[in-house]
């Protein structure tokens, strides 16, 4: 018998991508979907590319064993408390349970957290670093898209003390990372044929990046400069990370390959990766190299922000939480070009 799962707020980019991936999952049934303003409509009427999923958008979540919450921050936390009270396992795709200090939500997200008692319990859902904890958890905080690309790029270097704490992360994202809500910056005439940096005063994903990198090595206190950019494409994130090497004559490629050996969705590649090489997949492609002139480590990583940076990672977490092989329904090849 298939496990019944649900999606809260299926009509956002991540919610609809979760639905697409679950449609091909052999061991779960997408049994309940909700939407904030489209209650009563068939999913296929709202999202024609999902017409083969014969479900109606509901106001309240139905009878399920696990749910993906794709609501905006704060709203997600409120819905998750209700789901947990019903004994439902939860994967939160918002930022509401990623940070461990409740005060950070006031600073970075401008709200008082409604369930601070759950922050310690929530497991950060980056499988490559937290696999055993995720498998035992009832509440998983799905990582942000930028943090996924940056943390996976830097984790081996920080864990093994290969770099100095001063780190620069330069990330470029497609416009789907901004969600479906209309805004001037993602208007076609504004975003097309244009590249722009933003949030230089501090992006909301910065504390998440620092928190998780800090947990990898207690002796290294990372000082992170993070600059995100918007580029005129629909999907993809390319992050280039820079840090001074703390050790000379280190074979960083070997260290990276040893660190990620056996990981199904992280590949240490021989040439700098491109975002199209990950399109539609749950892969993270990583290219580490050393600038011999400056003694600086340079790591390039690529992901699809809606898959490994969102829905695919969420399904990977679900597979672990439900005892399935974590690659189930996630082994498709990239769409190219």
Indicate which CATH number applies to the domain containing 208: 3.30.360.10
In the block, residue with structure tokens 């993070």: 226
90, two tokens: 């939860």
**Does one domain contain both 155 and 241?**
yes
pTM (global) more than 0.95:
yes
Backbone angles phi, psi at 169, to 5 degrees: -120, 115
In the block, residue with structure tokens 């056996």: 262
Residues β-bridged to residue 86: none
**Does one domain contain both 223 and 293?**
yes
Angle at 43 (CA atoms; ends 81, 18), nearest 5 degrees: 55
**Alpha carbon distance 27, 200 (integer Å):** 44
Please report whether residue 332 resides in a domain: no
Residue 260 has pLDDT above 90, yes or no: yes
Q: Are 111 and 162 in contact (CB under 8 A)?
A: no
122-160, pLDDT tens digit by residue? Answer: 999 999 999 999 999 999 999 999 999 999 999 999 999
Give the pLDDT of residue 224. 98
64-89, pLDDT tens digit by residue? Answer: 999 999 999 999 999 999 999 999 99
**Alpha carbon distance 144, 151 (integer Å):** 10
**Alpha carbon distance 115, 251 (integer Å):** 45
Give, as one character, the DSSP assignment of residue 176. Answer: G
Give the pLDDT of residue 36. 82
Mean pLDDT of 16-23: 98
Give the pLDDT of residue 132. 98
pLDDT-derived band at 60 (thresholds 50, 70, 90) equals: very high
Tell me the H-state helices in the chain: 13-23, 43-46, 75-85, 103-108, 127-136, 145-159, 188-191, 206-214, 252-259, 312-321
Angle at 123 (CA atoms; ends 177, 109), nearest 5 degrees: 45
**Does one domain contain both 31 and 115?**
yes
Q: Are 140 and 134 in contact (CB under 8 A)?
A: yes
Give the pLDDT of residue 247. 85
Residue 302: active-site member: no
Cis peptide preceding 337, ω within 30 of 0: yes
194-233, pLDDT tens digit by residue? Answer: 999 999 999 999 999 999 999 999 999 999 999 999 999 9
Q: Which domain holds residue 171?
A: 146-305
Choosing from 121, 138, 170, the residue where a domain stops is 121
Q: How many residues does the chain have?
A: 337
Please report whether residue 324 resides in a domain: no
**Does one domain contain both 168 and 295?**
yes
Nearest-10 Cα torsion for 262, 258, 280, 183:
130
Choosing from 121, 156, 182, the residue where a domain stops is 121
Please report whether residue 337 resides in a domain: no
Give the pLDDT of residue 89. 98
**Does one domain contain both 17 and 153?**
no
Q: Which helix (H) or strand (E) holds 143?
A: none
Out of 145, 241, 284, 302, pick the active-site residue. 145
CATH number where 33 lies: 3.40.50.720
For 150, residues 6+ apart whose C-beta sits below 8 A from its C-beta are: 169, 171, 209, 226, 239, 241, 301
Other Cβ atoms closer than 10 A to 245: 18
**Does one domain contain both 186 and 275?**
yes
Give the pLDDT of residue 104. 97
Give the pLDDT of residue 10. 97
**Does one domain contain both 69 and 168?**
no
Please report whether residue 130 resides in a domain: no
**Alpha carbon distance 105, 109 (integer Å):** 5
**Alpha carbon distance 97, 27 (integer Å):** 27
**Does one domain contain both 158 and 300?**
yes
Please report whether residue 135 resides in a domain: no
**Does one domain contain both 28 and 103?**
yes
If we measure between CA atoms, which residue out of 263, 274, 269 comes closest to residue 289? 269
Which stretches of the chain are assigned E, i.e. beta strand? Answer: 3-8, 28-34, 57-58, 66-69, 89-92, 123-124, 139-141, 163-173, 196-197, 223-230, 237-245, 266-268, 284-291, 296-303
**Does one domain contain both 150 and 294?**
yes
Residues β-bridged to residue 10: none
Residue 319, helix vs strand vs coil: helix
Please report whether residue 35 resides in a domain: yes
**Does one domain contain both 285 and 198?**
yes
Number of domains within the chain? 2
Please report whether residue 310 resides in a domain: no
**Does one domain contain both 166 and 77?**
no
Q: Are strands 163-173 and 237-245 parallel, antiparallel or unpaired?
A: antiparallel
Please report whether residue 151 resides in a domain: yes
């Amino acid at each position: 018998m298939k496990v019944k799962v649900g999606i809260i707020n299926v009509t956002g980019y991540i919610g609809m991508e979760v639905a697409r991936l679950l449609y091909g999952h052999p061991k779960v049934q997408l049994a309940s979907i909700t939407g904030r303003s489209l209650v009563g409509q068939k999913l296929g009427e709202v999202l024609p590319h999902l017409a083969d999923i014969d479900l109606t958008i509901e106001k309240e979540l139905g009878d399920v064993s696990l749910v993906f919450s794709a609501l905006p921050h704060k709203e997600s936390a409120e819905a998750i408390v209700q789901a947990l009270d019903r004994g439902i396992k939860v994967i939160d795709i918002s930022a509401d349970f990623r940070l461990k200090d409740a005060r950070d939500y006031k600073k970075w997200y401008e709200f008082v957290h409604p369930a601070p008692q759950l922050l310690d319990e929530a497991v950060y859902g980056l499988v490559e670093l937290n696999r055993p904890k995720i498998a035992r958890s009832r509440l998983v905080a799905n990582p942000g898209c930028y943090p996924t690309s940056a943390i996976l790029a830097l984790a081996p270097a920080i864990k093994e003390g290969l770099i100095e704490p001063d780190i620069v992360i330069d990330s470029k994202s497609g416009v789907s990372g901004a969600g479906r809500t209309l805004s001037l910056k993602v208007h076609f005439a504004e975003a097309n044929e244009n590249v722009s940096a933003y949030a230089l005063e501090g992006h909301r994903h910065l504390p998440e990046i620092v928190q998780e990198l800090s947990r990898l090595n207690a002796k290294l206190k990372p000082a992170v400069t993070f600059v995100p950019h918007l580029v005129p494409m629909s999907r993809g994130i390319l992050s280039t990370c820079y840090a001074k090497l703390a050790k000379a004559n280190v074979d960083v490629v070997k260290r990276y390959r040893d660190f990620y050996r056996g990981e199904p969705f992280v590949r240490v590649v021989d040439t700098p990766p491109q975002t199209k090489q990950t399109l539609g997949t749950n892969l993270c492609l990583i290219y580490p190299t050393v600038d011999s002139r400056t003694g600086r480590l340079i790591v390039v990583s690529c992901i699809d922000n809606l898959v490994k940076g969102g829905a695919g990672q969420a399904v990977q977490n679900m597979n672990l939480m439900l005892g399935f092989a974590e690659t189930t329904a996630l082994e498709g090849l990239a769409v190219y070009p």
